Structure 1
Amino acid sequence: MRTRWIAIVIGLVSVMGNCQAGELRFVTEDFPPFTYASPTDPDGAAGPLVEIVAAVCARLHTDCPVQLLPWRRALAEAEDGAAQGIFTVIRSPDRERALYLTRELVTSRYGVYARSTNRLVYHRPENLAGRTVAVYGPSGTSFVLGQQLTAVDNVTVSLVANNRRLLRMLAAGRFGEQGIAVVNQDVAWHLIDQERIADIHETGVMQPVSYAIGFSRASVSEAEFDQFNAALEALIADRSVTAILKRHGLEPAF
């Protein structure tokens, strides 16, 4: 398999010269530990997904700047073609209509979080009936939460602009004594530690989630996507992608 993907990459690079001379612009969001602001570039991004994109682009001899933006703006730029690539993306009908998606690269879980005084033990969506549920959104997380709550009555969903603010609001009791938050587990643990947020605990896990890299159907041809994807698969085959994720304490999805 490794030899096959390397052969594909060599063939594509020799046939398609446009990526060697061109540029693929990527956008992402502040979503630590997956992506976060670069310590050296105020407009740039860092993190394991940025490193994976950089490794693929180095193999293709393509310049791939990555800009950190609010998620709604990042998604709008990818959908209308102003940006060629975007991450982190979950697989959904809306995303696949606008984007070509790589295979899922990193996996995590959606956790359910509450204040220490809240005795909720989460097992199933019905446990959230009668509560305020806070979630970062609009986002993949809020999309999944909406699916989970389809058959649950008397739930108030509160959308918050980013996960840092969401967890601080939860700790401050802004969603009520019985309020809870649904957050990516790796993001929650990272921010609780980094921001020193006290009096929050995990009450259960809602479901697994995995993330891919998306490419704009409006500004990237299928052949260009296939070229990037083949180089990515070669880096998966030689375990370079696994090494990047493991170095950041994250779990590969493959």
Structure 2
Amino acid sequence: MEDIYAFILALLLIYNNSLVLLGPTAWGTGVGPRKALVVATVAQLLGVATSSMHPLQIGHTTFLYIAVLYFLLSMAKISLPVSVVSYAISSLRPEAVALWLTSPAASLIAYMWCRLAKRSGALSLLSLFAVMYAFGYNNVALFSRNIVLTASAIAMGTYLGLGFSRWAADLVALRQRTAVSINLSVATGALIGILAHIPISFTLVAYSAMLVASYSSAIRVVKIEKFLRAYLGIIAALLAALIFRAVEPQLRYLVLRVS
């Protein structure tokens, strides 16, 4: 069952990421959803295939705990970073906590990218490939226990996320330069996580980059409430990991009784 649990969590993770990251390139730059879908899917598959991140062990109790938490936070419109909470439950390292809490700072480079990036369809696709490759390498690989199921999760999650990504940001105000800047900023933030072998919340860094891009370009790309909810998701993930560690024996006993 661990393969199925990993598939479901990967699907949720990829859907949430595609919802936020695919929109700017697919709908805001003229690249179009079909090209964006192909590039994003291939990039994630390559990221998983070349990743040095070790897949997490997702047992019955852990899966149910994360699934219930995901559902409850979704009802409150708070995005749970699935990779972060799964990793934190497995290994709550101090350096990981520090990285997660300070990761929005990586988006400050978006200001520079907004100034340097030029209008280019090729650059839009390259920046999308870079960020989705990093996502596959840094996040999706944590749930890659069965390559067929992982590939299915990537295809399904990316397709579904792309379909709803029009409403993830104020895309009508996006410029090609802004979308490229967001992609490159998130990819830069992901590089830190890759080097440290710690998964980051791509959603949080993406919303942070959108806020910086809004300031740089004098346009509204995303509401600040979405950034705050994404950051609350990190706090919730850390608290949930601490609680799980404290009550894990009781949870395992309860699951055994129910099953």
Q: TM-score, normalised by structure 1?
A: 0.26
Judging by fraction of residues, say which structure has more helix: 2
Structure with the larger RCO, 1 or 2 (CA within 8 Å, 6+ apart): 2
The structure that has the greater radius of gyration is: 1
Judging by fraction of residues, say which structure has more strand: 1
